[in-house]
Chains A and B, each alone.
Chain A
Amino acid sequence: MDPQLTEVSQLFERFKAAFIRNDYDSCANLLSQLKVLLTKFRSLPPLFENTPNAINELLLAREIYEHAVVLSVKIEDQDAFERDFFQLKPYYTDAGSRLPPSPQEYPILGLNLLRLLVQNRIAEFHTELELLSATALENPCIKHAVELEQSFMEGAYNRVLSARQTAPHETYVYFMDLLAKTVRDEIAGCSEKAYDYLSIDDARQMLLFSFDQELLEYIKEEHPEWEVKNGFVFLQKAKESAPCKEIPSLQLINQTLSYARELERIV
């Protein structure tokens, strides 16, 4: 066996041991060493040279990056997640035909979809979705993320929140928690427009707080324009007047002048 490959796999074993011990500091340390070592393999992307050990090297590298992605979730570092995921992606797309499928593939792809959803990058979410095959879409991990997006777009926030219990993978919980925060902001935004007032109890339930105190603090920080009075939260203090009485003269003058100029050019 190639000495370089042995070295990397030994280091990787140590990484995995630290990973199981939840010793994330030494994990991160070992990971950066591993990444440096991986650059010496010529069979990995972007070179994809056909060396004799290519398959073994690709498999090892794929596993390392899979662990790196999961690690980044555990240390709650979204930027690292993005970086590691993009490094991992060619192993699924470009080298996919040469390697046996990885059991981690769908959970990680689903995790990435969830991340895009949390960061509200919906366009990228759909771009990623187009890359998935019909069988991938049937996978519970992917389906979970897709259904979340749908409920999110519809406004069925209860379904988004209850999805936390059905998370298909332990790593999903981190993003689901982040999502819960996004959902609360969304609900607050919607309620503001939809209700004139709410009782404090209802508002607390709706915004998913356990205590009135939390709700009041949230209102103070995020929505200081809401008014709390007599056990009610008034969401819209003044209604905007719909009909416009005034004539927007300046705008009209500008428009008319531009018509005149254009017509002159035609005649």
Chain B
Amino acid sequence: MTQDVEMKDHQTPPHSVSSAVPSTLHHLKEIASLIETGSYTKEVRRIVRAVRLTFGLRRKLTAPVLSAFLDFALQPGSEALARLSSFLPKEDEHEMEVDTATSAVQTSGKHLLPELEIYCYLLVLLYLIDQKKYNEAKACSSASVNRLKSLNRRTLDVLASRLYFYYSYSYELTGDFAEIRGNLLALHRIATLHHDELGQETLLNLLLRNYLHYNLYDQAEKLRSKAPRFEAHSNQQFCRYLFYLGKIRTIQLEYTDAKESLLQAARKAPVAARGFRIQCNKWAILVRLLLGEIPERTMFMQKGMEKALRPYFELTNAVRIGDLELFRTVAEKFASTFSTDKTHNLIVRLRHNVIRTGLRNISISYSRISLADVAEKLRLNSKTPVADAESIVAKAIRDGAIDATLDHANGWMVSKETGDIYSTNEPQIAFHSRIAFCLNMHNEAVRALRFPPNTHKEKESAEKRRERQQQEQELAKHIAEEDDDDF
């Protein structure tokens, strides 16, 4: 499960390390000013940009850079500065002093922005997690979340959602995931009351992840079905949501819906998020197998996934051939992989599909076969193979898996001739569902074309507006005159 964290932006540009210290600090300062303007003008997109830029710098964060930046951004002697500095290892970096002294003078005059303070928390937290100091990260994130609870500003939402994520992540890494569940629920409630949709989205995913970590599918589904839903704000969060949804539905045997969610999640996920896509694909493969479909070979040959999907490939092979013996050996061979993936129980469910496929193959190849032979071919390990085979075949017939009849007196199965499919309405229905899919796709695409609100109005200058209003008035006059003419 931890792989899915790798969804973070990984496109760190390879800069030269020699000039890293001054340039990183410089970049950080630029980002800080970006946040400041964003906060004053109440423009969330500037803050989004600041966060994005930060993740580019992530690999270059070091303790001296951070402490220099903290001195720059936070008021000297403030509580936040003292608390955050305590998380950083002390190092003497005299060359930085000149720089910090001048900048401290600049900032001391103005009032500290909460956005900047929270941003500092985020930076320190990132650094601590990258340095694998998880216990400090836990303390730092808890402090930041406590601070966040007392703030209510829309410009903070973006930063807050990132902080929530790392808060949960740091607890997950130390294995105290269950501890923060109550806190996350409280935060989700706060976010809902503040109409902070990004926060809600993030927190809902964190909660689902938390529940699923402990296999609490029941609770997860109850929360998911009752939490407010709205259009997704962040693609990454939406991917995660789809993945969790797919997992829940798989467990609850709603395979068709599960397949849709999982495939969508795998497709929407960014290319860099390989671990996440592997997870999605694993589950999607299993769900498709459970549905009686055989995934295409290309699914297993995706770049960088061949090795991880190997066990699932062999499993698929066993199901495709319908060989119970082979299925059993594969399941045993990769038992440890399956249990770490938490898919063991799903594989147990697959046994029944293997029998079905085997039966279908038999039914296609033979027009009449004795039940004893069926039992032998399926390699049912039981004391009464013929009676078992008979009832298994009977159930397969009822479920529509094979088209055949049984003759109890003679003890054989008679396959029906496969009829001409084009004499039925089947092709028509298939054709219709495809057309409906394409049309729906088009409509969705049109609806997805989003324009930022008010962009056309911004361009309109005062002069133009006057012109437009004048035109409108003239038009109204014309219409009024025309009306008069009529009478």
Q: List B contacts of A193 (CB < 8 A).
A: 394, 397-398
Q: A134-B339, A154-B355, A155-B394 are in contact. Are A262 and B252 (CB under 8 A)?
A: no
> Closest Cβ of chain A: how far from B287's Cβ, in Å?
13
Task: Tell me the B377-406 residues at the A interface (CB within 8 Å).
Answer: 380, 382, 384, 387-388, 391-398, 404-406
Q: List A contacts of B345 (CB < 8 A).
A: 126, 129-130
Interface residue? B463 (CB, 8 A): no
**Pick from A124, A190, A192, A252: contact of B391, CB under 8 Å:** A190
Q: Kindly name the residue among B391, B392, B443 whose own CB sees the greatest number of chain A CB atoms within 10 A.
A: B391
> Closest Cβ of chain A: how far from B418's Cβ, in Å?
11
A124 to B251, CA, bound (A): 9
Q: Are A123 and B391 in contact (CB under 8 A)?
A: no
A187 to B405, CA, bound (A): 15
Chain A residue at minimal CB-CB distance from B383: A162
Chain A residue at minimal CB-CB distance from B402: A194
Q: Are B252 and A244 in contact (CB under 8 A)?
A: no
Q: List A contacts of B254 (CB < 8 A).
A: 123
Q: A248-B425, A255-B432 are in contact. Are A126 and B395 (CB under 8 A)?
A: no
Q: Are B251 and A159 in contact (CB under 8 A)?
A: no
Q: List B contacts of A127 (CB < 8 A).
A: 217-218, 251-252
Task: Tell me the B399-456 residues at the A interface (CB within 8 Å).
Answer: 404-409, 419-420, 423-425, 428, 432, 435, 439, 442-443
Interface residue? A56 (CB, 8 A): no
Interface residue? B59 (CB, 8 A): no
Q: Are A154 and B395 in contact (CB under 8 A)?
A: yes
* Among A60-68, A167-175, A195-203, A212-220, the stretch in contact with B: A195-203
> Closest Cβ of chain A: how far from B411's Cβ, in Å?
11
A129 to B382, CA, bound (A): 25
Chain A residue at minimal CB-CB distance from B216: A131
Chain B residue at minimal CB-CB distance from A158: B387
**Pick from B251, B395, B405: contact of A130, CB under 8 Å:** B251
Q: List A contacts of B391 (CB < 8 A).
A: 155-158, 187, 190
Q: Are A198 and B392 in contact (CB under 8 A)?
A: no
**Pick from B215, B349, B398: contact of A194, CB under 8 Å:** B398
A246 to B67, CA, bound (A): 81
Interface residue? B1 (CB, 8 A): no
Q: Are B218 and A150 in contact (CB under 8 A)?
A: no
Q: Kindly name the residue among A124, A155, A187, A252 whose own CB sees the greatest number of chain B CB atoms within 10 A.
A: A155
Q: A122-B253, A126-B251, A126-B253 are in contact. Are A199 and B388 (CB under 8 A)?
A: no
Q: Mark contacts of A233-267 with chain B using CB atoms, 8 A cut-off: 1 yes-contact digit, 0 otherwise.
A: 00000000011100010001001000100100110
Chain A residue at minimal CB-CB distance from B426: A244
**Pick from A157, A186, A244: contact of B423, CB under 8 Å:** A244
A199 to B382, CA, bound (A): 26
A206 to B345, CA, bound (A): 31
> Closest Cβ of chain B: how far from A96's Cβ, in Å?
12
Interface residue? A191 (CB, 8 A): yes
Q: Kindly name the residue among A191, A194, A195, A243 whose own CB sees the greatest number of chain B CB atoms within 10 A.
A: A194
Q: List A contacts of B407 (CB < 8 A).
A: 195
Q: List A contacts of B439 (CB < 8 A).
A: 259, 262
Interface residue? B351 (CB, 8 A): yes
A156 to B396, CA, bound (A): 11
**Pick from A155, A158, A198, A243: contact of B408, CB under 8 Å:** A198
Chain A residue at minimal CB-CB distance from B439: A262
Q: Are B420 and A155 in contact (CB under 8 A)?
A: no
> Closest Cβ of chain B: how far from A17's Cβ, in Å?
37
Interface residue? B193 (CB, 8 A): no
Interface residue? B348 (CB, 8 A): yes
> Closest Cβ of chain A: how far from B325's Cβ, in Å?
16
> Closest Cβ of chain A: how far from B434's Cβ, in Å?
12
> Closest Cβ of chain A: how far from B65's Cβ, in Å?
43
A155 to B405, CA, bound (A): 16
A123 to B218, CA, bound (A): 10
Q: Are A153 and B352 in contact (CB under 8 A)?
A: yes
A41 to B346, CA, bound (A): 41
> Closest Cβ of chain B: how far from A19's Cβ, in Å?
31
Q: List B contacts of A153 (CB < 8 A).
A: 349, 352
Q: Are A199 and B409 in contact (CB under 8 A)?
A: yes
Q: A127-B218, A196-B405 are in contact. Are A190 and B394 (CB under 8 A)?
A: yes
Q: List A contacts of B396 (CB < 8 A).
A: 155
Chain A residue at minimal CB-CB distance from B351: A150
Chain A residue at minimal CB-CB distance from B250: A126
Q: List A contacts of B355 (CB < 8 A).
A: 154
Q: Are A155 and B409 in contact (CB under 8 A)?
A: no
> Closest Cβ of chain A: how far from B129's Cβ, in Å?
28
> Closest Cβ of chain B: how far from A140's Cβ, in Å?
17
A63 to B254, CA, bound (A): 36
Please give the residue numbers on chain B whose beta carbons come within 8 Å of chain A beta carbons, in ascending order: 215-218, 251-254, 339, 342, 344-345, 348-349, 351-352, 355, 380, 382, 384, 387-388, 391-398, 404-409, 419-420, 423-425, 428, 432, 435, 439, 442-443
26 A-B pairs with C-beta separation under 8 A: A123-B254, A127-B218, A127-B251, A130-B215, A130-B217, A134-B339, A146-B348, A150-B348, A154-B352, A155-B392, A155-B396, A156-B391, A158-B384, A159-B388, A187-B391, A190-B395, A194-B405, A194-B406, A195-B394, A195-B408, A198-B408, A199-B408, A202-B409, A242-B424, A243-B423, A244-B423
New A-B pairs, 5, CB < 8 Å, besides A126-B345, A187-B394? A123-B251, A153-B352, A155-B394, A157-B391, A159-B388
Q: Nearest 7 pairs between A and B by C-beta?
A: A155-B395, A190-B394, A194-B394, A123-B252, A243-B423, A193-B398, A194-B397
